[in-house]
Amino acid sequence: MITNEDGKVELRGWVENVRNLGKLIFLNVRDIGGNYQVTVSKERDEGIFAEAADLRSESVVDVIGTKKENAKAVNGFEIIPQKLETVTVAQQPIPLNLSEKVESSLDKELDFRFLSLRKPKTAAVFKIQSTVSNAVVKFFSENGFYQIHSSKIVSQATEGGANVFPVVYFDRTAYLAQSPQFYKQMMMAAGFERVFEIGPVFRAEPHHTSRHLTEYTSIDMEMSFIDSYEDVMSIMEDLMIFIYKELDEKNGKELKLFGKKLEMPKKPFPRITVKEAADILKGYGKSLKEDGDIDPEGERIMGDYVREKYGHDLFFLTEFPWSIAQFYHMRQTKDPSVTCRADLIFKGLEITTLAQREHRYEVLLEQLKEKGLDGEKFTFYTDFFRYGVPQHGGSGTGLERIVKQVLGLENVAEATLLPRTPDRLVP
């Protein structure tokens, strides 16, 4: 709704419902800003009344009129129309119930995404996601990071595994990028020192869980001349605090729809090593996976533990074993079986993986061999390190997972505009 120079208001939106009382018609009209009551009187204008009487829910209208105070109306005022035009008529019945009082299955909500987004609560998810995304750009830009846009079609799997989507690339096979990892590091070799990127990444993993997608939006950053991966953790702490402040300032109405009141995180976030976590989990009758990694249930238990002991919703799980590390992760000097890697856990869900990278050419080649990877296939990457690369590290964070945890959503697909899973490729 906008107010014109002559004091009249113009409302362009969707008719949520029509109440015809004979001589009065009450239209509830919704636009991106909220809901408004349009009161149409037969005595005042029979033409407008007849137009309103033919309206059906979810039809689009243009209304020009005046505001009149009415304590019983939504927002404390009603709009008395001087002009009412039906732009498009919505077919009936609407295939998705748009009442917030009636819950539809997630599959149906996603099948009719263009309709589900008309619900204020569903729309609020993506207004919050927009704030988070904008906050990321603002934060990194204000902290000396350059924004980059790397290719999403690559010649080799970033992590050397099989969970990649092959694509036909003229006369050869290429892959959809699992991560901008190699290109972030290329920028460190190029002397850019601090870069970030927000973009899609693809994982051909046949998971059917509430936390996995085959395509998601990754917030990536890389920084040079670090002393340890503590520098990367510090940046992530500052970023999450900044996101919270932006949400608190800009999305109070949307957070209220979910009954959420943000509790501002405080630095430093707790740090717990994987070995320490293993001991803590034993007290709950839980253990790490056979490979030494933590599973989703373990993350949830640790999230509850940290909340109870430290009063924090965020903590770093540190010192992951080399056995599950990527070949480009740096190993700790004091204990080569442990890497300089950490995960940021947010309310029991891993949202970020970060690490210091191995920047020494000869060591990197040895680690490739240890992981059983063909060094020849990674020459384009290892060549970066032949001509001088500083100490560096970085992180990858799931945008949708941040939103999911902020709002307490059950499934990451709810925080994804158009989710891609093993079972879903449309809309």
Q: Which two tokens stand for residue 100?
A: 């917030």
Is 255 in contact with 249 (CB distance < 8 Å)?
no
Instruction: Determine which helix (DSSP H) or strand (DSSP E) holds 19, and give its type and residue range.
Output: strand 9-20
3-state secondary structure of 195: strand
Would the pTM count as exceeding 0.75? yes
* pLDDT exceeds 90 at position 4: no
User: According to the model, what pLDDT value does residue 377 have?
Assistant: 87
Q: What are phi and psi of 20, to 5 degrees?
A: -105, 115
Percentages (nearest 5) of helix, strand, coil residues in the chain: 35, 30, 40
Shared fold status for 2-88 and 115-415:
no
Instruction: Determine which helix (DSSP H) or strand (DSSP E) holds 189, and give its type and residue range.
Output: helix 181-189
pLDDT band at 118 (very low <50, low <70, confident <90, very high): very high
Residue holding tokens 């879903």? 424
pLDDT in tens, 326-354: 999 999 999 999 999 999 999 999 999 99
Q: What is the DSSP letter of 98?
A: -
**N- to C-terminal Cα distance for the chain?**
30
**How many Å is the maximal CA-CA distance in the chain?**
87
Q: Where are the domains of the chain?
A: 2-88, 115-415
User: According to the model, what pLDDT value does residue 160 have?
Assistant: 59
Instruction: Determine which helix (DSSP H) or strand (DSSP E) holds 249, and give its type and residue range.
Output: helix 229-250
CATH superfamily, domain at 2-88:
Nucleic acid-binding proteins (2.40.50.140)
- Report the alpha-carbon distance of residue 369 to residue 360 in Å, rounded: 15
pLDDT band at 6 (very low <50, low <70, confident <90, very high): confident
3-state secondary structure of 389: coil
| The domain made up of 115-415 is a member of CATH 3.30.930.10 | yes
pLDDT band at 102 (very low <50, low <70, confident <90, very high): confident
